[in-house]
Amino acid sequence: MSDIKFSKEELERYSRHLIIPEFNIKGQRKLKAASVLVIGTGGLGAPLLQYLSAAGVGTIGIVDFDVVEDSNLQRQVLFTQADIGRPKVEAAKERIAAQNPHIQINTYNTTFTSENAVEIAKDYDVIADGTDNFPTRYLVNDVSVLLKIPNVYASIFRFEGQVTVFNYIDAHGNVGPNYRDLFPSPPPPGLVPSCAEGGVIGVLPGILGSLQANEVIKVITGVGDNLSGKLFLFDALNFETRTLKIEKDPENPLTGENPTLTELIDYEQFCGFGIEKNGERENVKEIDVNTLDNWLKGDEDLQLIDVREPFEYEIANIDAQLIPQGDILEHVEEISSKHKVVIHCRSGKRSADVIELLQDKYGFQNLYNLKGGILAWAEEIDQSLPKY
Amino acid sequence: MATIIIPTPLRKFTDNKAKIETSGSTVGESITQLAELHPDLSKHLFQQCGKLQNFLKIYLGDRDIKALNNEETPISEQDVISIIPAIAGGKL
């Protein structure tokens, strides 16, 4: 560690770290020697990358397959208007390299999958999980356990967030709990809405991502007590915070008493996404927006139902009959079983859920899902409609 | 009376209430009462066989009930039961 050297510029840059007695140059050397893989450069990734680069983490890897969209800018503060359409990893690297030219930045413009996870992560000391879906969370967990590296985790929804450190190995070699100890099973698809479906207050990932960056720094330097074994919960709406104990689960298939998992698996299937691999479901009939447009123009005798929430209807609608998803069973009598019934939502997912429910429970055979929902209609048929 | 803290993803089934008071001498009794007060919440709390859903964590204070006595864990006045779901942000 004493062979890590700093230039005069670096020492001046990090002076506010160096003068903290508990941190000092030893802590700074550990940061410079460390490599952190940040998976996801979205809402959590923004503060993570900014603060880890500012702190002087020597090597930062950034994994993201996506490009910057305008709806990202409400919370992904690493990006600007001018970045729209660019690969996120490219824009992120440019931003943090400008912030700190003394660090090494590696980018991986790809999805993090079972096929590439070990190859990408094997050269890193710490993983920071800023991902946005359950399959990848389980993948990140499992690869961190297999590689024996800590996984600093944060997740958010609307106004709530969680932070902890999984798979932390302390100075005595004791290993802390991991994600599968806390959540042995993922929720079924569609139960916990995504930010795209449920929304998120923009500053929330900023708060949680900053806490996450703090945990990464503590894990690397050994300063303070990190959140291993503890789940920190933050409610931004009522400002309540709680810290709960995470217990190890003896039935954890990865690290329990009788481990059965020794390698990475198909996480989409594990999380129940098998049927929807291509966004289609075998038993749900689909039409695209052009077909609906033709049916409406041809005066086809059909019923058009919108299963979104009233506040979404106010933002944009196509004059459908509004029956929110949660109320559908109370309004079954209003749904025709004779004519074509086209059901839509924002993107086509909730409406597909509703159709499956109505078909299974009542035997409807005349229901059609509008592929792509009102977003596809706004894209292809009526550009005056806002896409939200 | 124990207070049950409802996580954001499940508040749409409790008229947006974040905290609900219940009586009952065990965690299981309190959660059952919660499901009776808000029937729409029931299928998200319980599997068809009647056991708690295994993607939810139930805490009494800061302890996972699995480390205590599961649904049989006794509760008293002022106890706080938390339902903690997995959340992932972003996409599904």
On the question of pLDDT at A163 being above 60, the answer is yes
pLDDT in tens, B20-76: 999 889 999 999 999 999 988 887 888 777 788 877 899 999 999 999 999 899 998
On the question of pLDDT at A209 being above 90, the answer is yes
Whether the CB of A133 is below 8 Å from some CB of chain B: the reply is yes
Write down all domains in chain A, each with its CATH number in brackets.
34-276 (3.40.50.720), 286-380 (3.40.250.10)
- Single out the catalytic residue among A36, A92, A345, A378: A345
Please, are residues A104 and A93 in contact by the beta-carbon 8 Å criterion? no
Of A162, A189, A273, the CB nearest to B87: A162
On the question of pLDDT at A46 being above 80, the answer is yes
- Single out the catalytic residue among A68, A195, A213, A216: A195
CA distance B25 to chain A (A): 22
Is the Cβ pair A131, B40 closer than 8 Å? no
Confidence of residue A278 (pLDDT cuts 50, 70, 90): very low
CATH number of B2-85: 3.10.20.30
Q: What is the pLDDT of residue A227?
A: 98
Average pLDDT of the residues in A50-78:
96
For residue A271, indicate whether it is catalytic: no
Please, are residues A178 and A150 in contact by the beta-carbon 8 Å criterion? no
Query: Which ipTM did the prediction report?
Result: 0.90
Q: Which residues of B touch A134 (CB under 8 A)?
A: 86, 88, 92
**What's the farthest any 2 CA atoms get from each other in chain B?**
40
For chain A, give the percent of residues with pLDDT over 70: 95
Q: Which residues of B touch A42 (CB under 8 A)?
A: 89-90
B36-43: list long-range contacts, CB under 8 Å, 24+ apart.
B38/B13, B38/B14, B40/A326, B40/B13, B41/B10, B41/B13, B41/B14
- Gap between the Cα atoms of B13 and A289, Å rounded: 32
Q: Which amino acid is at B21?
A: E
For chain A, give the percent of residues with pLDDT over 90: 73
pTM listed for this prediction: 0.82
Please, are residues A343 and A367 in contact by the beta-carbon 8 Å criterion? yes
Is the Cβ pair A192, B57 closer than 8 Å? no
Domain ranges across chain B: 2-85
Q: Which residues of A touch B62 (CB under 8 A)?
A: 242-245
Average pLDDT, chain A: 91
Average pLDDT of the residues in A18-35:
96
Residue of A138, A157, A163, A212 to mutate for B, most B C-beta atoms under 10 A:
A157
Of B8, B55, B57, the CB nearest to A160: B8
Q: What is the pLDDT of residue A276?
A: 43
Q: Which residue has the tokens 């098998």?
A: A274
The token pair that represents A35 in the structure block: 């490599």
* A155 contact partners, CB below 8 Å, separation of at least 6: A44, A129, A137, A161, A162, A208, B86, B87, B88, B89
Q: What is the pLDDT of residue A3?
A: 85
On the question of pLDDT at A351 being above 60, the answer is yes
CA distance B57 to chain A (A): 7
Between the alpha carbon of residue A54 and those of residues A23, A59, A210, B83, the distances in Å are 15, 12, 12, 37
The chain A residue lying nearest B19, using CA atoms, is: A238
Average pLDDT of the residues in A350-360:
89
Of A157, A190, A273, the CB nearest to B89: A157
Q: What is the pLDDT of residue A195?
A: 54
Is the Cβ pair B90, A238 closer than 8 Å? no
On the question of pLDDT at A40 being above 60, the answer is yes
On the question of pLDDT at A193 being above 60, the answer is no
Between the alpha carbon of residue B22 and those of residues B2, B30, B35, the distances in Å are 5, 6, 11
Please, are residues B85 and A187 in contact by the beta-carbon 8 Å criterion? yes
